[in-house]
Amino acid sequence: MKIRVGFGFDVHRLIEGRELWLGGIKLEHELGLLGHSDADVLIHAICDALLGAANMRDIGYHFPDNAGEFKNIDSKILLAKTIDLIATKGYRVGNIDATVCAERPKLKAHIPEMQEVLAHVMNIEPEDVSIKATTTEKLGFTGREEGISAYATVLIERD
C-alpha cells in the first residue's frame, strides 16, 4: 500500500449579506464568508490538502475563481470532484485532520454534523474526519472577526 500526506490552508473575509457555510453546513451568523463559491474555508482547505497529497496542484488550478461555472457553487460539489480527481490516480481518503480558526460563531456543537456531511461526500466514516475549532485569542484578522481560516492535513492511500 502506498500512502501520502497533504496539507491545506484557506482563508476568507467575513462580510455582511452572505451566508456562512463551514464544513458543508449552513450556520446562523450575522456575517458570511466572501468568495467566488460559497467560500467554505474548511472544505477548501481539505480540497487543497487532498490535491497536494496526490501531487495534483491546488484548488484554484482545478476550480478557478474566475470561472462562471463555479460562481456561488456549493463547496461540497468541489470536494466530491476533488475525490474523483484523486481517484484518477488510484487514491482514496484515509483520514482528515482539520482545524477551523474563528472567534465566532462557536463551532463545538456543529462539529458532529460537519463530520457526518463531509464523511458522506468523501465516502468515508465520520470517525475518519477530525475537526477541531479554535480561536486566536482575539489576535490577528480572525481575532478581530475579519475572517475565518482553516487548516487540513490528510492521508490518502492506494493499493
Binding residues for a divalent metal cation: 10, 12, 44
Q: Which residues are annotated as a binding site?
A: 10-12, 36-37, 44, 58-60, 134-137, 141, 144
Nearest to 106 by CA among 4, 42, 22, 44: 22
What is the enclosing helix (H) or strand (E) of 23? Answer: none
CA distance 98 to 152: 4
Contacts of 140 (CB under 8 A, 6+ apart): none
